[in-house]
Structure 1
Amino acid sequence: MTTAYDFTLPALDGGTIDLGTLRGKPVLIVNTASKCGFTPQFEGLQALWSFYRGNDLTIVGVPSNDFGNQEPGTAEQIATFCSRNYNVTFPMAARSHVKGDGSLPLFQWIAQEGGFLSRPRWNFYKYLIGRDGHLADWFVSTTSPESRRVRLAIERTILDH
């Protein structure tokens, strides 16, 4: 059976993000954009990363230009924007498609795991992968990364051994 740990993502820095290296750890995957009304959520994502990474949580940002052309930049521009404006230090994938037939295989798998409603309909959809590698929960753009709902889901996932 396929899990999130079976996927790799092209990294923003030109390398590869191998989710297999995170096997057994919770992962929060977020499709991001630099020119979106939800872009300030980078601040909350960075706060989650800083707070929970000691508890094995990894956050992976996946920039996408699929919604409203709100991520038009090059890899260097995206990296500079995230670092300069939000001090992002969590791993970032290369700009990729997250919807449709050309979407990353990881996002195709997420759509199968979570069903039709879990497919990203805008930037900053959040997908929490449990320690077993399966989709534990997902959140729409309007759900803040620092919301009680997200934090409780992360804490349940961290405690699930």
Structure 2
Amino acid sequence: MSALLLAGCTPEPANYPAPDSDQALSAIQNGIRSDFIDTPPRHAIPDDPVVGPGDDPGEAMQKVGDTMLSLSEANGRMGARDDIDGLVKVELGRCEWQSVNIRRIRDYARHRFEDRVPAAYLCDYRVTSATETRGLVAANGRGYFYEEGGAFFHAIIEQSSWEEDRR
């Protein structure tokens, strides 16, 4: 039994190399495009979002939660093109081919992995962005990079806050 469990955790060997820095930059851009531009919204403001004095507490919380999710997603979608355009470079650290743990991926990117991407390169990276609003900033991150249809894509696991890039 333990041999079966162990075998299930080991991914098939990679049939493509880890991304280089240019491919990683494209992968992050492709991931943002896929999650916030090319897919329809996943959350909608409820038909009656106003919480009234007679609402059941659970129903009121549901309305507030659905409204907040919808507004958060709308904000992400509005800034997606600027985010893509602002990306300047990606410096890759360690990359390791491994099975994808879908629970570690941010919710908005999980749709790209379900039943399609069993393994990917888990890489540490530093991404630099330049926008009119923030100036030149950088953040450290960790995420999955995978190839699909001849292009690389990325999904964030964790990323630090943007900070002024002093390099």
Per the TM superposition, whether the score is higher than 0.5 is no
> What TM-score does the superposition give when structure 1 sets the normalisation length?
0.26
Q: Which has the higher contact order (CA 8 A, sep 6+)?
A: 1
**Structure (1/2) with the larger strand percentage:** 2
Q: Which structure has the bigger radius of gyration? A: 2
